[in-house]
């Protein structure tokens, strides 16, 4: 399997003006178009956390979309890491900010 085809998990925290601008729904639509699974949620510090699984190259495309965001958003930074995929998600969805993760 090529490096770009290997399934990975992206965990990203997006900071800037990313709450109140439709950012979570933008992430859901982007992930669905790309065929990724996972979730997105607002954090108390006004950032947005994204956990997505899929091929490495496809996660790169999602990361690019995250850096741009929807109209009205202003992305200042993205802290991210990659880990092996767990395969624990069936689709991509919005989670409550109070959800404790996986």
91 tagged catalytic: no
9 within domain boundaries: yes
75 within domain boundaries: yes
9 tagged catalytic: no
42 within domain boundaries: yes
Q: How much is the pLDDT for 6?
A: 82
Range of the domain at 73: 3-87
From the candidates 6, 42, 46, 93, give the one annotated as an active-site residue.
42
**Domains identified in the chain, total number:** 1
From the candidates 6, 9, 15, 24, give the one annotated as an active-site residue.
24
Sign of CA dihedral 59, 61, 66, 70: negative
pLDDT digits (tens, 9 = 90+) for 46-67: 999 999 999 999 999 999 999 9
Q: Domain with 61 in it: what CATH number?
A: 3.30.70.100
The model's pTM: 0.90
41 within domain boundaries: yes
**Residue burial 47-73, b: 16+ Cβ < 10 Å; e: rest:** bbbbbbbbbbebbebbbebbeebbeeb
């Amino acid at each position: 399997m090529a490096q770009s085809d290997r399934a990975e998990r992206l965990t990203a925290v997006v900071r800037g003006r990313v709450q109140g601008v439709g950012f979570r729904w933008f992430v859901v639509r982007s992930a669905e178009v790309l065929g990724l699974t996972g979730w997105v949620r607002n954090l108390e510090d006004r950032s947005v956390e994204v956990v997505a699984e899929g091929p490495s190259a496809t996660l790169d495309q999602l990361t690019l979309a995250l850096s741009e965001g929807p109209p009205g958003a202003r992305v200042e930074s993205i802290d991210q890491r990659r880990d092996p995929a767990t395969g624990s998600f069936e689709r991509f969805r919005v989670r409550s900010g109070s959800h404790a993760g996986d």
